[in-house]
Amino acid sequence: MNKSNFLYGAFVLAIVNFIVRFIGFGYKIMLSKLIGPEGIGLFQMASPILMFFITFTTAGVPIAVSKLVASQKASGNNQGCKKVLKTALLLAFSMSSIFIAIIVLFGQFICSRILKNDDLYYLIIMLTPAIMIISISAAIRGYFYGLKKVSPAGISQIIEQLSRIPFVIVTIHFFQPISPKYGAAIAIIGISVGEILGLLWLVLHYKLYSSSQARLSLKREVHATFLSRILFIAAPITFSRLIGIIMQLANTVLIPQKLVEAGYTSKEAVSILGKVMGMTMPIIFLPFIVTSALIVNIIPNLSEGFERKSFGSIRANIELCIRLTLLMGIPLTTLFVLFSKPIALTLYNDKQIASYLSFLGLSTVFMSLQSTLAGILNGIGKQVSATLNSFIGMCFQLFFTYSLVSNPSYGINGFFIGFITSSIIICTLNFITLSRVISLNVKILDYIIKPVFASIAGIFSTIFLYNLLLNSTIRSFITLLISLAIGGLVYLFILFFTRALPASLTKRLFNLK
């Protein structure tokens, strides 16, 4: 079994992502019950500051490191791989130091003038250690992804979650009763605690791997050469991600303000923000368990493919990524739209979240496909086009948020309309851009129609079984899991029966001959 096979790596990383997201999702549910929607709202208002600054070091840099390490590895230049990582670490450390200084010096201004909430000052100060740790970890992960060694990076993410959650839960319980503000502060400190232990794991595995490698070097290249290459690849990707973070920050600031204009109190507006961003969005982002795994693994494979001029393999991998994304995105869209109430009531016991999930669920398939296509474009050197497409779509989202949320007839639905519209626009533009570069053979019947038919059958099976078990003595959470599992099996059975799954999927996954 050749573990360099990109589909194998994607499968392993998808499993890791599932574990991490499952743990993180359970953590979000527990946290929302411990500190309430207002505490979650404060946490969500502070988080974009962290996301904004680490975007410069975690968006494009790991992808650039992954591509360059894969290219150096394909050439047999082990020392070149190490130089790429050392250059990226130096860049991450330098930029993080600057960002920490900015937060310390201008934190009060950021809170009072931009976020419009002075209670957030100490929260964003507590974010500063995480900036440095996350930036360094991201560079090392990019190194391992470039080598197609997904396990060390994946396990580090699990360690982060497993260490952060006990720290936060135990600390909050120790200080009970606790205010939303202090609850949010403990949750933020927990980010750094988890990241430190995850980083230690990465450093240990780097040392173990580095000591086992021969000092083979075919080219003598200085760090400045690699720095220029990293910046060339990373800059447009970082700018694209930065646009998303700025839009998220803008929405975080605008939504509460516009809801107040629509007639809500400030406390109600923050609670709605917490329910949307902190409770509903984690469910909507479930497809990224698969898409992020596909992206992380296909980028170094595309880089290596271009190095070796294996264009047939490149096209086949791209088509498979798109097909797998649709096979996962279509049923989840159907699930969120038609089965939102049982999910929201079981997880949060909140009918309002059910309506949010049903509305936002319409964007799921477009978001997942948009993410995969953007990753592919980055892998084939079309970073600028992907960035432009993202910018166009985000502008539409911000326009709808600004113009509709303050209208009492729309309220938070104005944000939902903009979010869905933006996802559709970006997805469409990315697909058009990719089609102009590579001729794709997308079969509508196998890629879309069959999965839609299987999804409808699966969701109706889920609804029927859920209603059948609802009045039994089985706990609601177990009822939900059983219903989802049976619906998923029906979906997979129909896919196999209609031959909607790629015939070579199993062989490619395990690289069987």
Structure confidence by residue, pLDDT tens digits, 59-118: 788 888 888 888 787 777 778 888 889 999 999 999 999 999 999 898 888 888 777 777
Q: Are 233 and 67 within 8 A, CB to CB?
A: yes
Q: For residue 120, give the DSSP letter.
A: G
Burial class of residue 479, CB neighbours in 10 A (0-12, 13-18, 19+): buried
**Does the pLDDT at position 447 exceed 80?**
yes
Residue 512: what pLDDT?
A: 40
pLDDT band at 505 (very low <50, low <70, confident <90, very high): low
What the block records as the tokens of 311 is 């264009």
Contacts for 471-476: CB closer than 8 Å, 24+ residues apart = 476/345, 476/346
State which of 72-86, 225-239, 260-274 shows the largest mean pLDDT.
Answer: 260-274
H helices of 110-222, in order, are: 121-125, 128-146, 150-174, 180-211
**Does the pLDDT at position 5 exceed 70?**
no
pLDDT band at 309 (very low <50, low <70, confident <90, very high): low
**Does the pLDDT at position 502 exceed 70?**
no
The pTM of the full predicted model, rounded to 2 decimals, is 0.73
pLDDT band at 249 (very low <50, low <70, confident <90, very high): confident
pLDDT band at 321 (very low <50, low <70, confident <90, very high): confident
From the centroid of its chain, how far is CA 363?
Answer: 15
pLDDT band at 449 (very low <50, low <70, confident <90, very high): very high
From the centroid of its chain, how far is CA 124?
Answer: 22
Residue 215: what pLDDT?
A: 54
Residue 179: what pLDDT?
A: 83
**pLDDT, mean over the chain:** 83
Q: Are 458 and 490 within 8 A, CB to CB?
A: yes
**Does the pLDDT at position 181 exceed 90?**
no
**Does the pLDDT at position 1 exceed 60?**
no
- Angle, alpha carbons 247-252-255 (nearest 5°): 105
**What integer is the mean pLDDT of 445-472?**
91
Residue 361: what pLDDT?
A: 92
Q: Which comes out higher in pLDDT, residue 498 or 11?
A: 498
Distances from the Cα of 468 to the Cαs of 123, 413, 453, 482, in angstroms?
Answer: 47, 32, 23, 11
